[in-house]
A = this chain, B = another copy of it.
């Protein structure tokens, strides 16, 4: 595994690989690698001859009150995990080389980020999309693997790839969960052991929603009420938002439609740690058909 810090050198290396007809897959992270990231790398290995892992804690996707400085940066451990996972190139630039003097051009992600994470974290998605665009250009990847965990991020990136004709194939990787259902996240390490136990209410909320939908419920307001009740059972849980949206446009929907691609979204504070989770909801064909 080669570690590269310089964006121009990474780009030149990627260009040579392309000219040698190598298929390149990229996995973008902010480091602090966990099982979720390893699952993305596994998909990358299965789909491409060359795997580039990027580690870059991007200041432009953190808000002023967010945890940029507190964000974990265990580089040596990450590099060892990357090597073990079969990564070919670990690209880890510093902030100055990514945002050179006079930097000012940004991606504007549009209506898809007016709500949910975009509303709660102003500027987050523009900063994220900008760095994803930069990393796609630098890595010259044919394939990029992103987790469904960050569902709105995934939708924004897919939209950007189409809108800007980037030509990259985006592969969606399912959420990786602990045995009790908690989605893996770099932020889970902030949880106390009591909070860690309570954090399972997000997944329990998802299971409750799936159960209701399987029973034929299509009214999203009612489903979200029941989800809120499950989450509210944890004493240190505070709902930031819940929603049920079209999985591509992130437009909210009042009634589940048959054969549509709906997603349940959750953002919940457990103590002082904010967790997100989500799941596709598939309405029953027969019950949904009654609404049309």
Interface residues in chain A, defined as those with a beta carbon under 8 Å from any beta carbon in chain B = 7, 11, 15, 18-19, 21, 100, 102-112, 126, 129-130, 133-134, 137-138, 159-160, 162-167, 248-249
- Min CB distance A243 to B, Å, is 19
What is the CA–CA distance of A104 and B156 in the complex, to the nearest angstrom? 10
What is the CA–CA distance of A21 and B15 in the complex, to the nearest angstrom? 11
Main secondary structure of the interface of A (DSSP, over half): helix
Which of A130, A164, A249 counts the most chain B CB atoms within 10 A? A164
Contact A11 B104 (CB under 8 A): no
User: In the complex, which residue of chain B has the Cβ closest to the Cβ of A102?
Assistant: B249
**Identical subunits present:** 2
Contact A105 B103 (CB under 8 A): no
Contact A105 B159 (CB under 8 A): yes
Contact B100 A105 (CB under 8 A): no
What is the CA–CA distance of A192 and B140 in the complex, to the nearest angstrom? 50
Contact A167 B137 (CB under 8 A): yes
- Min CB distance A233 to B, Å, is 38
Contact A108 B133 (CB under 8 A): no
Known: A18-B18, A137-B167. A108 touches B110 (CB 8 A): no
Which of A159, A163, A249 counts the most chain B CB atoms within 10 A? A163
**A104 — which chain B residues lie within 8 A by C-beta?**
109-112, 159, 163
User: In the complex, which residue of chain B has the Cβ closest to the Cβ of A15?
Assistant: B167
8 Å CB contact of A107 from B11, B105, B165: B105
**A137 — which chain B residues lie within 8 A by C-beta?**
164-167
Q: Given contact pairs A100-B162, A104-B159, A106-B108, enumerate 15 new A-B contacts (beta carbons under 8 Å).
A: A18-B18, A19-B21, A102-B159, A104-B109, A104-B111, A104-B163, A105-B107, A105-B108, A105-B109, A105-B159, A105-B164, A130-B164, A134-B164, A134-B165, A137-B167
Contact B108 A7 (CB under 8 A): no
Contact B164 A133 (CB under 8 A): yes
**A138 — which chain B residues lie within 8 A by C-beta?**
165
- Min CB distance A95 to B, Å, is 14
